[in-house]
Structure 1
Amino acid sequence: MRDQILVANAGSSSLKFHVYDVFDNDQLCFAYGGQISGIGDRLPHFRVRDAQGQDLLNQDLAPDQALNLHSAQHLVADWLIAHLPKPPIAVGHRIVHGGTQYSASVAITPDVIEYLDGLSPLAPLHQRNNLAPVKVIMDRWPDIYQVACFDTAFHQGHDPVVSHFAIPKAYYERGVRRYGFHGLSYQYISQQLHAEWPDIYAGRVLVAHLGSGASACSLKAGRSVDTSMGFTALDGVPMGTRPGKLDAGVLLWMMEQGMTHDQIQSLLYTESGLKGLSGISADMRVLCDSDETQAQLAVDHFCFRVAETLAGLCVSLGGVDALVFTAGIGEHSPFVRAAIADRLAWLGVHIDPAKNESSREGLISTADSAVKVLVLPTNEELVIAQESLRLIRAEAGINI
């Protein structure tokens, strides 16, 4: 009976899981995965698909079955108990923030949970939700090995010039610094470049992780040099519902107008970005299909700020050899890729229109482009599974 690793990723309105089979030489192969979406909504849905994309489960849920993340977790747990032939050897979790203490994935203990829970104000939409399945599993199956994999870890080790804000040093020592996020995605892209595009991997690479959450990162020889997100996941480029870079004076003004902490937090995390600017939707597909002026403004603003950010990251690299688009928008929106590339033409970025329209993966730049442009699907869950397997093998004294 083959060993398996379970990966859990809990958000504010969805709970995702992937199951990986462990083969000889500790190769991992996706077996099946699913999610409960619409948690807390009138129409929650539970879907599970296998490696061939065939449905193992596809059903609407009653609202009270996924009233909140707690009830959704127990629903997923019951389904997994009925379908896993034996308990997984490890459960890996995506945890957004690792703070100053963790620069790599770690085995989860009560002390680790306590520290990570204390970072929740730095990621109010993510951290406690990420930790919720950890606590459920620890309560129901205390002997299962659990691993925390951090979105901040890949960016640890940045030059102090990059990681500091221009505020008194005492705040840096208290943890107020630029951490960066989406590190699991960037780690996967780095691995793929190393395996499939070694010449590009060895050079100066910009990666645009463009989804409902969006950021950019500069890689040199596969390592993070700088990134657009900072102390929290609000900074950098505009996102689905987050504003990206914002003058701190705007927040002071809001406070002067009498807005509370919770009102400002809600505005910045759930009402801004594409949703706020367009007044229509946080979904890039909806905005690109719309003829509304504000929708077009939101798309143009997004593409402009992403291009501006990518150009700025070239400073950390001393130039650029390749640009990689990844994540939901980056992988599936030829229009957005083209609009960003057009704004970077002065850097030597030129994409082939036909390749851009048809490609979901691979090289889309022209033969004479000074900068190679690729589309690479990301796979954060596989990185979490790899890290979990690495740690449990290390604990057993086995090198992989």
Structure 2
Amino acid sequence: MSDLLARHRAVMPNWLALYYNEPIEIVGGKGNRVVDASGKSYLDFFAGILTNMIGYDVAEVRDAVERQIATGVVHTSTVYLLRGQVELAEKIARLSGIPDAKVFFTNSGTEANETALLLATYARRTDQILAMRQSYHGRSFGTVAVTSNRSWKNNSLSPLNVHFLHGADRHLTQFRGMSDEQYIAACVDDLRHVLATATGGDVAAIIAEPIQGVGGFTMAPDGLFRAYQEVLAEQGILFISDEVQTGWGRTGSAFFGIQNHGVTPDMMTFAKGLGNGFAVGGVVARGDLMDNLHAVGLATFGGNPVAMAAANATLDYVLDHDLQANAARTGAIIIDGLREAAPRLPVVGDVRGKGLMFAVELVAPDGSPSPELAAKFMEETKKLGLLAGKGGLYGHTIRMAPPLTLTEEEAREGLGIIITALENL
């Protein structure tokens, strides 16, 4: 492994971060567990950054991919009819609830968000965008502009005129102790003030994650985005929901995260888990917005036949096995267990989450964010046989999102490992 790590460092950029003091190479997987090159097994609570959504070595996905490869056609591009694209788009359009919806497929969430921003700014003829503080929407030029986390922004240059809103920052002094209703009211007041003072003329759209991924699974209280949408609708401002991490039933309480707020957005972006490891992303939007562009467009690799085979099989599996209900059931075991244990664990500053998307903030004795404890927790869980992820504005949050196929027994096993690791900090 030291040889592979040395080779990695020689040819890969130094900003390409690796977890752990001694990084691992994953060489096998089955169900909700993976095996590294040394033969050590781990219960996977990060799922390739929420991407191996229904676990590893899933027969339905494997068989669908093998059938497509067996045809000899692994690529044609969008200048030809693609049956798998049409079939998947029909399913997504129906599930989205967006009126007269149409779908465009990309390779990633970054590309999906770029497409949504293009559609919004073109339709509204303005470069002004609203986004949320602590957000992350991708690593490209446009998506970095709507990302509000200094650790993920290489520069301030932007093709967009962006204004950032409150909504997932209740830790700030001015919001502490507020009820959900009071916090929503304060955020709506701020939105109206931003529109009245910081913007000039029309605004194209708001883009928001229902639960902030890189932000450490921070989230607006249910109903905030409904309140925002009511204000935005007064000026015709579009709503883009970034469902790259919150889609496909992961929150347990809704199939798409934004539905927890009672909102039907104008567009939703998606990626990650839909292909269960195969590269797929996309936008589902109102048909008039999608059809509005005047220039010719295509996607060379977006909606690739193999990726479409995997995505169709994955989505069918999620629906056929009601994995949204499973996320609610198994997620409650973990989140309730963590909240019960938190009062006796001084390193825990907060426990939050919905379904199989949950996080623990780690703090120093004075209550300040502790990225050092987060790094130590990662080493502890690795030693105990569980993979977790990190995030948060200050790098002090452990974020976890197991496959939606997690069993109740595995949920209890993972909960035990997490609590043991916290006790060892």
TM-score bracket relative to the smaller structure: under 0.3
User: TM-score normalised to the size of structure 2?
Assistant: 0.25
**Structure showing greater relative contact order (alpha-carbon pairs closer than 8 Å, 6 or more residues apart):** 2
